[in-house]
């Protein structure tokens, strides 16, 4: 998957390649034939000439009469045989390739760049599984709890680097959503259907079910140096561990933590990111700074000029015990936008809800042999504009209050020396002011079975508890929060390619 860069030394490399081809051809018996030298066979070990056959000793010659020694003429160089038609065709094809490479290098160097081979790489991962939810009837009424085979992720990366220092990365996820999605309304819920007749099937009644295509990320990077790089586009928020690791092949559990599920910071943003790193001894010190539109769950556009700011600092040691410590922050403004058209006058805009948010988090990871540990914690402050609060989940007419939200998790895994087994344990807690409950806890365990470096089976059991720690033992929803307690059994077969 690594790219090979042909830069200022490209022509020298091409000459080396050409010389190597010629040398190989010259060393081939079909091209050069040389008569082997004549060597007298050695006498048998221990043998000597008979006494009578020994040559007489030469008579001494006066020094003045010694004959002049004339060196023998050097033999003429061997004449190479004429190459066969097959070899001549091979040499012509190789020379054509070299000429094409020279022309390509010349064209790009004239433009001030360098040639990169494998300029487009395609890779990704998939996961499929089986899952079951055990819950109270009131919980089962708002979601599907039956044992079901599911499609997890179908993610494909398009990684392009046509010119050195410039890289563009797209990650696309294919889904069958929202077909069958349960939409809850004031009086009940309905199922979403994406069924239609396929207009391109050649007949009028061919069935077809559409699905969403999710743009997970799409950005272009200018790789100036190790110390400073620029990313522009839609990217994952550089916050904590989970959101940066992202892909199911590298994550330990199947289920994401509450930090992600409750969106305590934007999962992805559109804007600018500046990042880089430097080494201080055995430690790599890195940073990321972002200037973006903020949360884009509502819109891809920014409804005001109050840009969101965020960043991350980390220190990483890649020795025998790989450790990383990180600090992340985010500050942004979120709001919706309503456009009104009065009977007279110009259209007006307003927002029905608006709030400022501040998030700060810390994370730590450790890899030592077969041991993997991941933990991170976060606190978010949410402050609404007067008269502009969001509706609370689960209770009609309830509004979200100002307040702090806390969440954290710890996951530890141990690779066993047989069968590719990696058992793990996950602990998680969250304090989230809401109308139904304000606190939840998660206890989870599972095992990953690594068949190959690219294929693994993830098995996980999750138990979730809800509590309401306010003075009223019953929530504003009118039913005990423990009715939301549930257990999940889930699995995923993950393949990276």
Spatial separation of the C-alpha atoms in residues 255 and 429, rounded to whole Å: 14
Q: Under 8 Å CB-to-CB from 177, ≥6 apart: which residues?
A: 211, 212
**pLDDT for position 111:** 58
For the chain, which ranges sit under pLDDT 50? 1-9, 28-54, 473-474
The number of angstroms, rounded, from the C-alpha of 108 to the middle of its chain's C-alpha atoms is 29
Q: Is the peptide bond before 178 cis (omega within 30 degrees of 0)?
A: yes
DSSP, residue by residue, 101-155? HHHHHHHHHHTT--EESS-EEEEEEEEEEEEEEEE-HHHHTTS--S-EEEEEEEE
Per-residue model confidence (pLDDT) at position 476: 55
Task: To the nearest 10°, report the CA torsion of 26, 30, 35, 41.
Answer: 100
- Indicate the SS3 state at residue 16: helix
* pLDDT at site 41: 47
Residues 6+ apart with CB under 8 A from 192: 178, 179, 180, 181, 182, 183
Whether the pTM exceeds 0.85: the reply is: no
- Quote the pLDDT of residue 48: 45
| Nearest-angstrom CA–CA distance, 125 and 38 | 66
Main-chain phi, psi angles of 490, to 5 degrees: -140, 155
């Amino acid at each position: 998957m690594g790219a090979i860069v042909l830069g200022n030394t490209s022509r020298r490399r091409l000459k080396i390649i050409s010389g190597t081809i010629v040398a190989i051809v010259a060393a081939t018996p079909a091209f050069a034939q040389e008569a082997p030298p004549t060597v007298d066979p050695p006498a048998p070990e221990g043998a000597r000439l008979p006494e009578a056959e020994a040559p007489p000793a030469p008579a001494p010659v006066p020094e003045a009469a010694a004959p002049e020694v004339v060196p023998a003429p050097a033999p003429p160089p061997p004449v190479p045989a004429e190459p066969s038609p097959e070899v001549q065709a091979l040499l012509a094809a190789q020379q054509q390739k070299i000429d094409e490479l020279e022309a390509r290098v010349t064209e790009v160097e004239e433009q001030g760049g360098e040639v990169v081979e494998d300029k487009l790489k395609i890779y990704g991962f998939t996961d499929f599984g089986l899952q079951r939810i055990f819950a109270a009837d009131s919980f089962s009424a708002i979601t599907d709890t039956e044992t079901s085979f599911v499609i997890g992720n179908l993610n494909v990366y398009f990684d392009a680097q046509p010119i050195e220092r410039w890289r563009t990365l797209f990650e696309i996820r294919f889904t069958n959503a929202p077909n069958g999605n349960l939409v809850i309304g004031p009086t009940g819920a309905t199922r979403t259907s994406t069924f239609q007749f396929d207009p391109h099937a050649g007949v009028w009644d061919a069935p077809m079910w559409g699905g969403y295509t999710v743009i997970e990320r799409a950005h272009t990077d200018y790789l100036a140096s190790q110390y400073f790089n620029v990313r522009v586009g839609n990217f994952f928020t550089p916050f904590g561990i989970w959101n940066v690791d992202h892909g199911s092949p590298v994550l330990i559990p199947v289920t994401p933590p509450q930090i992600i599920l409750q969106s305590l910071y934007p999962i992805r943003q559109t804007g600018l990111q500046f990042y880089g790193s430097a080494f201080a001894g055995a430690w790599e010190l890195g940073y990321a700074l972002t200037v973006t539109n903020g949360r884009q769950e509502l819109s891809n556009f920014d409804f005001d000029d109050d840009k969101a700011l965020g960043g991350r600092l980390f220190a990483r040691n890649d020795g025998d015990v790989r450790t990383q410590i990180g600090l992340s922050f985010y500050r942004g403004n979120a709001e919706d936008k309503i456009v009104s058209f009065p009977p007279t006058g110009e259209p007006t805009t307003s927002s029905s809800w608006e709030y400022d948010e501040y998030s700060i988090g810390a994370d730590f990871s450790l890899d030592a042999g077969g041991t993997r540990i991941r933990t991170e914690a976060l606190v978010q402050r949410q402050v609404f504009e007067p008269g502009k609060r969001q509706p609370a989940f689960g209770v009609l007419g309830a509004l979200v209050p100002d307040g702090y939200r806390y969440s954290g998790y710890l996951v530890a895994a141990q690779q066993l020396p047989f069968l590719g087994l990696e058992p793990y344990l996950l602990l998680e807690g969250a304090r989230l002011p809401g109308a139904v409950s304000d606190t939840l806890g998660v206890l989870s365990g599972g095992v990953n079975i690594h068949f190959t470096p690219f294929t693994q089976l993830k098995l996980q059991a999750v138990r979730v508890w809800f509590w309401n720690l306010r003075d009223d033992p019953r929530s504003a929803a009118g039913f005990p929060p423990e009715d939301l307690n549930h257990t999940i059994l889930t699995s995923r077969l993950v393949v990276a390619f």
